Structure 1
Amino acid sequence: MLIALYAVAVLVIAWAVALPLWNGSGLLSPWFGLTALAMMMTPAAVALVIVVFIERPRQRLVALGLRPIRPWRRTLGYAFLGLMGMLLLCVVALPVGTVIGVYPGDFAGLSGLRASTVVGDSESVWPLVLTQFGAIILASFVNLLPALGEEIGWRGWLLPKLLPSGIVPAVLLSGVLWGAWHAPLLLLGYNYPTVPGWMAVLLMIGMCTIVGSLLGWLRVRSGSVWPPALAHGGLNAAASGTLYLFAADAATVDTTQATILGWSGWIVPAVLAVALIATSSFRSPPTTTQSETHVNERTHHVA
């Protein structure tokens, strides 16, 4: 019942927040950035209301996934893995798309990047590539707080509620809901401007289900919402930051087919997700109590 209430509330409120864009100039509205940011806060807001006023658990931060953070090494380790892994997946999607023939890549000459800068033909543009990746990493941390607005809802509160029904159903349902939640912006042309709105929503559901399974793995393995939130921030930064980075000069990138947004970019994360599920890697970390028990048992045995 609570899951259904959450789903309805978060979808309705997202539409309510985005409604001014529909009554105005859509994606060209000067308020688009603030509206999108406010919309990103809605999953966490609905989860917070449910936890505080309906569930009222003793440990509310735990129910939202904000705690535990300790052990720090585990949380920081999965946060680093999530960020670097997400950036790598966004980059790997580009040569995969080039091999398939849907991404106009020029990895040898970097003609698109060279044409957009003042770098001469005899100069290397790789320092600019490294600078761009540095900017993407910085943007990932800037995106952390907005990403938390989504992750507290999707992976912090919702995913643990769905896991008793099984890993695959939990991943599928949370992914479909996450993707459908983007509909108010997608139907205006966001992310997939060249296709009908219904197709854009289906594409986003596909991407969110596959990539969301990896974010869910981070949530389960770390016991915290912080690692998937940082990975989500990396996704938002790298998806746009690498879009034309390795493209040929004057090329057009079709996001329905290429990059992490398109179907060719789902191949590697889908294989990884299947491998994690098949190897039963979706295991929760031991609780503090369990860890202390194991330590006490070892200490007693040595004594």
Structure 2
Amino acid sequence: MKNQTEKKLKPIGIFLSITLALSAVYYFLIIYSGTLSSGWGQFTMGLMWCPGISALITMKILKRDISELGWKWGQTKYQLWSYLIPLIYAFIAYLIIWVFGWGGFYNKEFVVRLTNSFGFGEIGTGFIIVLYFILVGIYGTIRSASSALGEEIGWRGFLVPELYKTQGFTKTSLISGCIWGIWHLPILLFADYNSGTPSWYAMSCFMVLIISMSFIYTWFRIKSGSLWTAVILHASHNLFIQNIFTPLTEDTGNTAYFIDEFGIVLPIVGIGFAFYYWCKRKELKPAPMII
């Protein structure tokens, strides 16, 4: 049994080694420049595609069919929920932030820039915010998915199903979440992937959030059998947090400690969602038996 387990884990070692080697190039470029926006954001895009490219290379090395990565669409209800869930937990988190005054709704400077960019002149603030929400929620998702796909081919297309063969749901969620989080740390610690809090604080909040999210992503990937649930989850998460709720939140002094992926509120809400999907783990097909 031990030899069989080691044999099943070997592909993961190949995948992670290639991912690290490719990512190191973009780590250097981003850290050297000090910002994720360097190279017009193409360094960051390149980094996000490293896991996906690594998965494809690994499949080639192992002489496997890339169809095993989960390209089928699956049932649309899972894709719809994949879009809505990040919106729900982001809304809950930011509503808590606004109600308790840890951040204000809304950021007037940001809304003024929005109004000017739309070119509508004097028009209601509420209308501008709703219009921005709708347009970004639709078209921004497509743009966000183009980068999320690069990561998700690797993390949920290859890594999660491969881990699930030997580890089951809970361990797969924890292990893949830790790997996913650690992969982000170089740019968090040594570049500007942070909302302005101390590195130790940002790292702690981020790792808790990422591991919590991993339970959601793993559940949908195994339940649906589709890679696209993870792509949509990832794209929706980045979109609503980074492009809508965080920019709309006004800084009231210590807001950075509460908002975004590096503040305390989202990780706490994320734990609640992780627990919910952990409780639903029995709905998943059982992991293959190792003989």
Same fold per superposition (TM over 0.5): yes
The count of residues paired between Structure 1 and Structure 2 equals 271
Question: Structure 1 pair 259/17, CA: closer, same or farther in 2 (3 Å)?
Answer: closer
- Asked whether 1:3 is paired with 2:12, we answer yes
Structure 1 unaligned spans of 5+: 286-303
Give 1:208's aligned residue.
210
Greater alpha carbon shift after TM alignment, 32-41 vs 255-264? 255-264
Determine whether 1:84 maps to 2:84: yes
Structure having the higher helix fraction is 2
**What is the rounded CA distance, in whole Å, between the counterparts of 1:124 and 1:185 in structure 2?**
39
1:38 aligned to which of 26, 37, 46? 46
Q: Residues 219 and 281 of structure 2 are in contact (CA less than 8 Å); yes or no, is this contact kept in structure 1?
A: no
Which of the two has higher C-alpha Rg?
A: 1
Secondary structure at 2:24 match in 1: helix
Displacement of 1:177 in angstroms is 0.8
Q: How much does 1:183 deviate? A: 2.1
Q: CA RMSD in A?
A: 2.9
Query: Letter of the aligned partner of 1:226 in structure 2?
Result: W
Q: CA deviation at 1:111?
A: 5.0
Give, in angstroms, the shift of residue 236 of structure 1: 1.4
1:1-303 equivalences under 5 Å are 1-23=10-32, 25-27=33-35, 30-31=38-39, 33-54=41-62, 56-57=63-64, 59-62=65-68, 64-66=69-71, 68-70=72-74, 74=75, 76-102=76-102, 104-106=103-105, 124-134=124-134, 135-163=136-164, 164-248=166-250, 251=252, 254-280=255-281, 282-284=283-285
- 8 Å contact 1:219–1:225 — kept in the other structure? yes
2:7 aligned partner: none
TM-score by length of 1: 0.78
What SS class does the counterpart of residue 95 from structure 1 fall into?
helix
Contact 2:78–2:220, Cα closer than 8 Å, also in 1: yes
- Post-superposition Cα deviations, 1:133-179, rounded to whole Å, max 9, x if no partner, equal 12133111112121111001111110111123121111111111111
Contact kept in structure 2, 1:86 and 1:235, CA below 8 Å: yes
Deviation at 1:262, TM superposition (A): 2.3
- Partners of 2:148 and 2:100 in 1: how far apart? 31
For normalisation by structure 2, the TM-score amounts to 0.81
User: Which stretch of structure 1 is more off in the superposition, 146-155 or 126-135?
Assistant: 126-135
